[in-house]
Amino acid sequence: IVSAPGHTNLVLSLDKTSGTAFGVSDTPRDVEVCGALCKGSVWGGPEASKWFSSVLGIRCWLARHYERVDPRKQSGTGHTGKDSYSNEAALLVVSQRSISLLNSIIFSQGWGKQVDSRHFRPNIVISSMPSYGNDDYQQDSVNENYYPDRIHPEDFWVKIVISCEGTDLELSAIGKCARCQMVDIDPTSGMKGNTLRALAQYRRERGKINFGTFFAG
């Protein structure tokens, strides 16, 4: 069940045969996700397309990840590649310090409403940080606009450990998260801001604008 304010609920079946129940071919099509080309099948038919187009204000279709099967595999699922439209890793981590720094840039430039963690869709937000001196960090030679007061702590984390009831979960850093214009969208109002423009002032590296770090267990 998918819900949105001011709209009736959309009920979608997860059964793999439901995609063709509306007369829509399940032939895989090219789908681009965050610059990466992958495969997907149209899902939910005209009903789903009409619902999402109404909610988002643009004509669109719902796509389901196309699961490739390797016929050479005789055991297991036989699936290859990714199982979903996921990013480079399962978990995205950002720190509140990084968000506060970004908001200071937005405020100083007079670029409108400040942002919160929801703009970046992280799985984990680190809300408090130990105090570090500038000597604890090495200068980032990639970013020519590097300043010690503009450090994002998660850039330097190699591992993080989450402890709960005597059990530790260790996560390892995979890499930085390159952002697109989706971070400009206010998750509450749907209005577009200047988040990416502000990040570009100090977070551009090798043609990408990074914010947050991917981790995996």
Q: d(Cα 21, Cα 18) in Å, to the nearest integer?
A: 5
By DSSP bridging, strand 124-126 and strand 91-95 are: parallel
Give the per-residue pLDDT at 133. 44
Q: What is the DSSP string of 75-90?
A: SS--EES-SSS--SSS
Question: What pLDDT is stored for residue 70 in this prediction?
Answer: 52
Residues of the chain with pLDDT under 50: 21, 23, 73-81, 131-148
Chain-centre distance of CA 106, in angstroms? Answer: 21
pTM here? 0.63
**pLDDT more than 90, % of the chain:** 43
Tell me what pLDDT residue 150 has: 60
Burial class (CB in 10 A: 0-12, 13-18, 19+), 185: middle
Distance CA 116, CA 98 (A): 10
Q: Give the span between the Cα atoms of 1 and 14, in whole angstroms.
A: 10
pLDDT of residue 132: 46
